[in-house]
Amino acid sequence: MPAERYAFAVGSLTAIMRMRIRDVEERRDMIHACMRTVGIDTGAWFIADGRTHPEHYGELLEALLAVEPSPFSGEIDPCAVKFVLGEVGDVWPDWLMAEDHDGNRPRLSA
Report how far residue 33's alpha carbon sits from residue 12's, in angstroms, rounded to the nearest whole number: 11
What per-residue confidence (pLDDT) applies to 80?
95
Please, which pLDDT band fits residue 108 given cuts at 50, 70 and 90?
low
What per-residue confidence (pLDDT) applies to 102?
59
What per-residue confidence (pLDDT) applies to 8?
93
User: What is the mean predicted confidence (pLDDT) over 56-68?
Assistant: 85
Report how far residue 4's alpha carbon sits from residue 93's, in angstroms, rounded to the nearest whole number: 8
Q: Detail the DSSP E strand segments found in 1-110.
A: 45-48, 51-54
